[in-house]
Structure 1
Amino acid sequence: MKFAIISDIHGNLPALQAVLADIARQGVDQTLNLGDILSGPLQPLETADLLMAHDFPTIRGNHERQLLALLDPPAGVIDPATSDGYAASQISAAQAAWLKALPVSLELDSDIWLYHGTPRSDLEYWLETAVPGFAQGNGPGVRAATPAEVAERMGSATHPVMLCGHTHVPRLVQCGGVLVVNPGSVGLPAFDDDHPYPHVVENGAPHARYALLEKTRHGWQVTFCAVPYDHLAQAQVAASRRFPDWAHALATGFMPRLAA
């Protein structure tokens, strides 16, 4: 079996379309979706329609949970000036029901398990670690996780392949008998966050990312793919909806604070 792994689409329909077109040329047997599907100021409704039509094995990310919380009475007024709020204000009741029905994790077979963050939290970074120092100008405030950190976050899970998203960074780590793979983000190449410390994540290019996973006689082969698409048009959409940080990230692959 050959799998395509997608994650963190964030409502970026043209990026998703470009990735799916590339996947169609790869001889893939199944595409797997690791969540954070719609949140953002782009095309959440159209993205949901496309994914519902394909019916890929899909799990929820933290943004699905947060978006659904906004739609759950008595949540109050939805603020479309936030990423989750914009998506929540756009999607249909049928699309919200689809999100609500998604599992938080998924065992595909005896070899592969799907998570968004880690086995214990959809908000936890698995292959990266946020550290102090960004506010003082000491780097991006995030680094690659150590082998000990990767193992501790794994807990008792033992599947040969564990797939995760959330950090938007394409990476794989072999941890004992487990291969942990993050395919990167289809729709958002850079972002910032304040938890547990202020930091930025930047891939340095605006391409849409995904990964190919295939079992060979020597083990699991992983190929990271970076697909070009009309990212400048999407940056203009974000700018027109008053999301300047999104616009900069989509146009460049960097956050504006660190742009030279």
Structure 2
Amino acid sequence: MKVAVISDIHGNIYALMKTLEDIDEQKVDKIICLGDLVGYGPHPNEVVALIKRREIPCIKGNYDASVVDGDYTYIRNTAINSFALPWATNEVRIANKYFLDSLPTSLNYTFNGVNFLFTHGSPNAINYYLFEDAANTIEVMNQLEDDVLVCAHTHIPCAKKYGNKLLINVGSVGKPKIGKPNPTYAVIEIEKNGEVKVTFRYLEYEFKRIVKDCTMLNFPAAITSSYETGKE
């Protein structure tokens, strides 16, 4: 069984299209999206439309939830978000807000006898960060009833064992924070004997296109430059 997991697209249609092209070349059996389709980037409706058209199972991200309710309920009240949240709230079509609001906050699958829990942030909260060696991450993994937790939200990919439990963070397609502008996602292979193998894909795409779009829309320089630098 071969599963591609994407997340944190954040209105970057160019990165999403490149990622789906690469996934199609990997010949996976299933694609799963961990949310944050909208926020920051200038093409939230196009991203939602493509996810819907491909019928990709998707969960709700914290930025998705905040755009639905139009408030800082699940995101930080920062200078960037003071622009990005109102912009996205106004830009995302009503039908797409209904779609985002309808998404579950987690998904469970069993592949070749291995139980997977898919979340955006933490199983405990949609907007909790699970950094690799943080105390709250260790606590979550010690309490995990499933075999594998697959999450995102930090925009930083990682895979680490905690005893007999495995944590996989798939990174970010649309707004990476890895010091370079490469869209990142995970390919997870589950062998018939239950062995789990993780490969992170780092892609190149024409990020200057989204930089140009942001510039034309007078987005703040901090958002525009993040697509070039891969930094927040």
Q: Is TM > 0.5 for Structure 1 vs Structure 2?
A: yes
TM-score scaled to structure 2, two decimals?
Answer: 0.88
Cα separation, 2, equivalents of 1:170 and 1:238: 26
Partner of 1:98: 99
CA contact (8 A) 2:141 2:165 kept: no
Cα separation, 2, equivalents of 1:226 and 1:16: 13
Q: Using a 3 Å threshold, how does the CA distance of structure 1 residues 242 and 107 change in structure 2: closer, same or farther?
A: same
Partner of 2:187: 212
Gaps of 5+ in 1: 72-79, 129-143, 191-202, 256-260
Deviations 1:114-145 (A, max 9, x none): 1111111112111x2xxxxxxxxxxxxxxx42
Is 1:230 the counterpart of 2:218? The answer is: no
Cα separation, 2, equivalents of 1:61 and 1:41: 15
Query: What is the one-letter code of the residue matched to 1:208?
Result: P
CA contact (8 A) 2:8 2:35 kept: yes
Query: What is the one-letter code of the residue matched to 2:61?
Result: G
Query: What is the one-letter code of the residue matched to 1:207?
Result: N
Query: What is the one-letter code of the residue matched to 1:182?
Result: N
The 3-state SS of whatever aligns with 2:190 is strand
Partner of 1:111: 115
Q: Using a 3 Å threshold, how does the CA distance of structure 1 residues 218 and 97 change in structure 2: closer, same or farther?
A: closer
State percent identity of aligned pairs: 31
Q: Using a 3 Å threshold, how does the CA distance of structure 1 residues 11 and 41 change in structure 2: closer, same or farther?
A: closer
TM-superposed deviation, 1:242: 2.1
Cα separation, 1, equivalents of 2:38 and 2:97: 11
Query: What is the one-letter code of the residue matched to 2:147?
Result: P
Is 1:4 the counterpart of 2:8? The answer is: no
Partner of 1:180: 167
Deviations 1:1-36 (A, max 9, x none): 100000000010000000000000001010010011
Q: Using a 3 Å threshold, how does the CA distance of structure 1 residues 91 and 149 change in structure 2: closer, same or farther?
A: closer
Query: What is the one-letter code of the residue matched to 2:90?
Result: S
Partner of 1:161: 148
Partner of 1:52: 52
Partner of 1:253: 230
Instruction: Count how many residue pairs are aligned between Structure 1 and Structure 2.
Output: 218
Cα separation, 1, equivalents of 2:68 and 2:194: 42
User: Greater Rg, structure 1 or structure 2?
Assistant: 1
CA contact (8 A) 1:41 1:86 kept: no
- Aligned to 1:145, which of 109, 113, 133? 133
Gaps of 5+ in 2: 72-80
Cα separation, 2, equivalents of 1:120 and 1:105: 10
TM-score scaled to structure 1, two decimals?
Answer: 0.79
TM-superposed deviation, 1:158: 1.8
1:7-86 → structure 2 map (5 Å cutoff): 7-70=7-70, 82-86=83-87
TM-superposed deviation, 1:173: 1.3
Query: What is the one-letter code of the residue matched to 2:209?
Result: A
